[in-house]
A and B are shown apart, each in its own frame.
Chain A
């Protein structure tokens, strides 16, 4: 059960990460095209605004991928000294705290979207982007991060309770520093 959940989450988030990558590449191409256009005196206009939206959405949706790839930096000086059991307790504790904070963030992000929906807000820019279009996907990304954190924590907890420490460490442990990049 726990293994299947983790495997599914990993596959889904890898797909999400590819989509974000494509979005970022497209954004870079768009920015480039605008620079070239500007040399001829024209411009698409609004590249800054669109880049900002792309960044907000890429950020919120990328969080879960980074979580499962164990990329969110942790200082593991103490954790390293501990034995297997204690290490897994460090990991579970860290995941529980992370999940709590992420759920709070997602919860606090809702009023931002809600206000844009109820006021039909548009951006204060020439594009007059309806904010719901961009804040909707952005909010969904944080909710997804909350869902992925919760499921990952529960799965890892199940693994620890079954005494499968090595597998739990693979799911929520801390990588060697060198693997960051």
Chain B
């Protein structure tokens, strides 16, 4: 059954059938071949129960928040302000890319939106100031991946929903690895640009008064982050309610900059419906596949599979990580997570690992998938914002950051506390 699912999955995906539909097909196939009960009869009830969800409505809210923020003009101001604070480091403006991406990640639930936003404001600067395009664009693509790690995160909501783990705990677990990655990206950039100054740009310092003045520009984003994350941990709001708070906050920011009008709200809502439906087809399909796999006895088969392998828990985990890295070349973020959750998460729990910890490890691996060719969404997003040059520039530029992500995956394997420390504190 595991082999059938894995081979069927890859084959049908390769035929370019939509990912969500492939998941339904596999579920129907498992019902036909491996189950004694007619599971497909439960399809309707499952479609209802998996979409009638007050948890999942956080997804359109967070998407909408991002859509509004992108159109609010706050990105350019944030970028200019952070430039004044970090451009003294070796690598100059490259650090502003990472810092802006980090700040946007703290309000946006999506990596692609984060990369797109930062790329739009940063790219014109690179061309103006004569930066080497490789490292510069690589830093945006990589920094953008933080969007799904630093809370709020749409991917963590979906993971929590499908594995029935606590979303507030997942959010908390992602905080230290997310900020750690941001810091590691900065350190990596500084090391590279110290060794090869030509890869960065001019280091610039600004007078203290200008730096302090720039801080004002950061206030909207920081307030928004505090409102979203703060209201969850103060116990005022569920993640869904916090997302609604975020939507209101984004509207206020956009209104302050005079960007709210009918056309803008219309565009933002159309984008929201599009992205939400895309995500939900995959989520409902995965719920159905989850249900059929569990009903057809995946648990038993996994145990037999594991004892048959005769590997230790650690080496099985290494194999799993390897599978994600390989799949990550071809399959993207949410699809990669959702198509693997029905098999991988029961397996990992069977091995005795914590599902919250595995969620964070999976996010690191999925971040890597976002920036590894041939299919790496953020590479294309960043390239899309450039006016000249090849995609290969961006691909070369992300290599150091892929190494950082690999190191973080290793660190999580050796020190699970990096992810589990904060959630444990909450309990």
Contacts and interface: CB of A to CB of B under 8 A. Distances in A.
For the residues of B in contact with A, the DSSP-based class is helix
Contacts of A14: 270
B112 A180 contact: yes
B269 A71 contact: no
Given A17-B269, A20-B273, A174-B16, A51 B64 contact: no
Nearest to B246: A28
B21 interface: yes
A21 B270 contact: yes
Contact of B377 (A47, A60, A63, A177): A177
Nearest to A38: B236
B269 A109 contact: no
Contacts of B113: 181
B48 A94 contact: no
Given A58-B273, A59-B280, A94-B16, A35 B48 contact: no
Contacts of B280: 59, 62-63
Given A98-B21, A109-B47, A177 B375 contact: yes
A138 to B, nearest CB: 7
A32 B248 contact: yes
A122 B380 CA distance: 48
Interface in B207-241: 231, 236-237, 240-241
A171 B259 CA distance: 33
Given A31-B240, A55-B57, A77-B14, A101 B383 contact: no
Nearest to A114: B44
A75 B12 CA distance: 9
B44 A110 contact: yes
Which range holds the interface residue count of chain A?
35 or more
Contacts of B377: 177-178, 180
Nearest to A33: B244
A174 B247 CA distance: 30
Interface stretch (B87-95, B98-106, B316-324, B329-337): B329-337
Contacts of A54: 57
Contact of A59 (B18, B110, B277, B332): B277
B54 A52 contact: yes
B247 A28 contact: yes
Given A35-B244, A72-B278, A174-B16, A52 B57 contact: yes
A18 B270 contact: yes
A37 B270 CA distance: 30
B5 to A, nearest CB: 16
B335 to A, nearest CB: 6
Contacts of A101: 21, 24-25, 28
A111 interface: yes
Nearest to B385: A178
Contacts of B274: 17, 62, 65-66, 69, 71
A98 B18 contact: yes
B17 A94 contact: yes
Contacts of A35: 231, 236-237, 241, 244-245
24 contacts: A17-B274, A20-B269, A21-B272, A24-B60, A25-B64, A34-B241, A52-B53, A55-B56, A63-B281, A66-B273, A71-B277, A73-B278, A73-B334, A74-B16, A75-B16, A75-B19, A77-B375, A94-B16, A97-B17, A101-B21, A112-B44, A178-B380, A180-B112, A180-B278
Given A72-B281, A178-B384, 19 more contacts: A21-B269, A24-B60, A24-B64, A35-B241, A51-B240, A53-B52, A58-B60, A62-B273, A63-B281, A71-B277, A72-B278, A73-B18, A77-B375, A93-B15, A101-B21, A109-B43, A134-B52, A138-B48, A180-B278
